[in-house]
Structure 1
Amino acid sequence: METEKERSKWQSRAIWTAVYALSVLAAAQVGRISPTFEMLAQSFDVNFVGFGWFVSLITFASALSGIAAGLLVVAFGLIRSIILGAYLLAALTLLASVSPSFQILLVLRILEGFAYLAVVVAAPTIIAATVRPDQQATALAFWGTFFIAGISLASALGGSIAQELGWRAWFALCGVATASAAVVASRYLPGVPPPMSGEVAFRTTIRQLSKSLWTLSAAFLITTLLSVAILSMLPLYLSDRFSISMTEAGGLTGLIALGSLAGNLFYGRINSRVADRSIYVLSAIGAASASVFAFGAMNLVVAVIGCVAVLFFVGALVAMCFAAVPRLSNGTSQVGAANGMLTQMGGLGALVGPPVIGAIAASFGWPALVYLLATLCLVELVLLSKALK
């Protein structure tokens, strides 16, 4: 006969799986644009900078209102927030598939951002509220792989599907997949135990957030610039610099993204045995060093290996930031606000990153990114040393 402990363990795993699946598909909507540059350029005459903004505008909502969203999802109800967010994201993606103009696509992309925000802010707060305290760091570190998994999935599948069926069919498929996942997840998530909703004192909660959380969020902005912005523009970089098709570049990006996934999982395995300081020092130095090969190499194989290494080290930093939130917070509402704050700063990095990278590449060439990454890694090192001291 199944014991109460076994039922609780099964429920926690089911909740985590449902939340993770929704998070991955939400992230896939961020990455679904990258493999479609050539087709969108033909349809709407889009240049590098315009394409960069199209990629990043989904993060506008996060950059604008992440902290408020972190508090609102707790007040509105975490389960309702994540399910409603997934349905809205699916609907907006389907609308994008029939958009008659690039301007409408940009507006829909901004609206997608608010739905995406509801999913990715509610998700880690649900996990933090439903796993044992001694498992929170590992559970959140593994959940932190959602973004790279989603980007990787979209990059690997998007190039070939969009090339074969067109970008509109690719967008429609993404919308259907997200809606289907929301239907399945809604069968598992209503059983999540309290405290999952209620009134939230906005000003009080924000004032009570520690300086360490604010510094951690600033560090996460840099982490996002090092991961999301670069990964989002990687298909364009590989195609433009090494003269390969966007289909091939998308497939390679999907494989390269696994480097960040490995970094997330690596941190999840060692976080209880190795001091955070040792991990973030090694990761920052490693990412800066690998960027020389990633963006300075003239050989495709060397560049791919360098990109994998950069994203591996950055992946460990992403997992570290998410895992640190519960221990720097006090209570569910504060965890929600802290996750919202991380999402807001990360959204800011993801918003400005792709167009900045596109502008730098257009003005100075792709190798100039080596200097950008080295500078960002140094700033990251300083911020994490203050947040996690």
Structure 2
Amino acid sequence: MSNTSIHSSITEPRTQWLEVILLWIAGISAAMQFAKFSVSFDGLLEHYQMGATSTGAALSAVGIAGLVFGVSAGMIASRVGYLKVLVGALLLGGSLSLIQSTLPPFNLLFVTRMLEGFSQLGVVVAAPTLIAKLSAPQHKSLTMGIWGTFFGVAFAVCGWAGKSILDQYGLQALFLSHGVFITTMGVVLFFKLRKNPVLDLVPITEMQDGFFKQMMQIYRNPRALLPSCVFLFYTCTLVSVLTYIPGLIGDSTLQKLMMVVLPLISTGGTFLAGAIAQYLMRPQRVALMAYCGVASCAVVLSFISGSAEIFCAVVGVMVLFLGMVPGSALAMIPTLARSPSEQAQGYGLLAQFGNLGATVGPPTFATSIAVYGLPGLVVLVLCVCSFGVLFSLWAGRIKTVL
């Protein structure tokens, strides 16, 4: 009996927490490709004198690669190898940050930003696939919840440490420090994971059809499509809420406070969703609960007019529910996917839909708020939540793969 129990304990899969945390930090270093330009926006305006529109385009250029190549990145990663794609993406990101640290001409800077999109895309496709592979079944939702916080944490760290570096040493030091950080993560993960037996995955070659036929198969696969649809309506909403709602608050002190607090609340919601999906309910139900919570808060907002403090409290709860959506969507992918290849395709599609939502959402919300004010925001949020609820229910009908 004792030999049997020893054997089962040896063969039982376990979560490799150190490796999971290192991959999460790699995700943070990749998300800093967005955050470093956000925190240094005024400095870039002053240095390049290109105007807010051109500099803003350089900020958002990182998302172009994900918008266009999200699905194909998942296909490539499954064939080339996830660790190779991850390390290559991190080293590419480091090289581009080092080029940016020389403050090159604006046209070259813009090109480096577009190339950084491929670096960022490689990380967000490969890293969560590796995290899922390194996680025991009973921890996958939890580790996906941890992974889902990387974007908010990157902005928080850049707002703290990055702003300090920028104020004391300038733009060059900020970009140089990011280049060193992301390159270091690439080197560390290469040596830490290259001989890991759990990641000894044979590149996928079973799909021999044409490229576009493969892409259509991915779009038609509900196991990849539905988590991405759930995620799409989150990205439509959160960036807009974080950008425009502080402007609806009459108190300037509360405005500044909410600009700092809301991203942290969102990050907390993402981690909370992973924990709930792990221990209490399926990720699809967490997404459903989150969208219902967002819709309820939006309705409450429409009845609040006098108190700025109550308005901020309700917005905080709404952002907490919004933050739960990516945690649940990320947890859905390893829950529903039948293979690492299908997982990578799901993360690629998630990246593509996420960039689509971040592109379409802000101008739509800006127009609605400009024309109708707070009621315009509330109605648009309710419409988005309706679609979120629909796709969460649909995803809940898919049989879970254990």
TM-score class, shorter-chain normalisation, is 0.7 to 0.9
1:70 aligned residue: 74
Cα distance, 1:242 vs structure 2:
6.9
Contact in 2 for aligned 1:49/1:358 (Cα 8 Å): no
Q: Which runs of 5+ in 1 are unaligned?
A: none
2:29 matches 1:13: no
Contact in 2 for aligned 1:257/1:308 (Cα 8 Å): no
Cα distance, 1:152 vs structure 2:
2.0
Deviates more, 1:170-179 or 1:16-25: 170-179
CA gap 1:86/1:360 in 2 versus in 1, 3 angstroms: farther
Local SS of the residue matching 1:176 = helix
Local SS of the residue matching 2:280 = coil
CA gap 1:230/1:239 in 2 versus in 1, 3 angstroms: closer
Cα distance, 1:238 vs structure 2:
6.5
1:274 aligned residue: 281
2:190 aligned residue: 186
Cα distance, 1:118 vs structure 2:
0.8
Instruction: Give, as a single letter, the amino acid of the residue that structure 1 aligns with 2:231.
Output: F
2:3 aligned residue: none
More contact order relative to length (CA 8 Å, sep ≥ 6): 1
1:328 aligned residue: 336
2:147 maps to which of 133, 143, 149? 143
TM-score by length of 2: 0.80
1:309 aligned residue: 317
1:384 aligned residue: 392
**Residue deviations 1:56-102 (CA, integer Å, cap 9, x gap):** 22111111111111121121111111111111111112222333444
Deviates more, 1:255-264 or 1:339-348: 255-264
Instruction: Give, as a single letter, the amino acid of the residue that structure 2 aligns with 1:382.
Output: L
Local SS of the residue matching 1:99 = coil
Instruction: Give, as a single letter, the amino acid of the residue that structure 2 aligns with 1:274.
Output: M
2:177 aligned residue: 173
CA gap 1:167/1:324 in 2 versus in 1, 3 angstroms: same
CA gap 1:7/1:89 in 2 versus in 1, 3 angstroms: farther
1:215 maps to which of 223, 226, 233? 226
Cα distance, 1:262 vs structure 2:
1.4
Cα distance, 1:263 vs structure 2:
1.0
Q: How many residues are aligned here?
A: 380
Output the CA distance in 2 between the equivalents of 1:274 and 1:15: 26
**Residue deviations 1:108-158 (CA, integer Å, cap 9, x gap):** 211100011111100111122222223222222222111221122223333
Output the CA distance in 2 between the equivalents of 1:148 and 1:178: 17
Deviates more, 1:297-306 or 1:46-55: 297-306
Matches within 5 A, 1:288-307: 288-290=295-297, 305=313
Q: Percent same amino acid among aligned pairs?
A: 24
2:271 matches 1:265: yes
TM-score by length of 1: 0.82
CA gap 1:88/1:353 in 2 versus in 1, 3 angstroms: farther
2:198 matches 1:198: no
**Residue deviations 1:282-329 (CA, integer Å, cap 9, x gap):** 3223334546769x9898866764554333212211011111112322
Cα distance, 1:365 vs structure 2:
9.4
1:37 aligned residue: 41
Output the CA distance in 2 between the equivalents of 1:10 and 1:371: 46
**Residue deviations 1:247-270 (CA, integer Å, cap 9, x gap):** x95x86454322122112212222
Instruction: Give, as a single letter, the amino acid of the residue that structure 1 aligns with 2:222.
Output: K
Q: Which has the larger radius of gyration?
A: 2
Output the CA distance in 2 between the equivalents of 1:30 and 1:62: 13
2:87 matches 1:87: no
Cα distance, 1:177 vs structure 2:
1.6
Contact in 1 for aligned 2:297/2:315 (Cα 8 Å): yes
Local SS of the residue matching 2:201 = coil
1:99 maps to which of 99, 103, 117? 103
Q: Which runs of 5+ in 2 are unaligned?
A: 1-5, 398-402
1:347 maps to which of 351, 355, 359? 355
2:292 maps to which of 285, 292, 296? 285
Cα distance, 1:230 vs structure 2:
5.1
Cα distance, 1:48 vs structure 2:
5.4
**Residue deviations 1:364-386 (CA, integer Å, cap 9, x gap):** 59855454434322322222222
1:164 aligned residue: 168
Q: Provide the aligned C-alpha RMSD in A.
A: 3.7
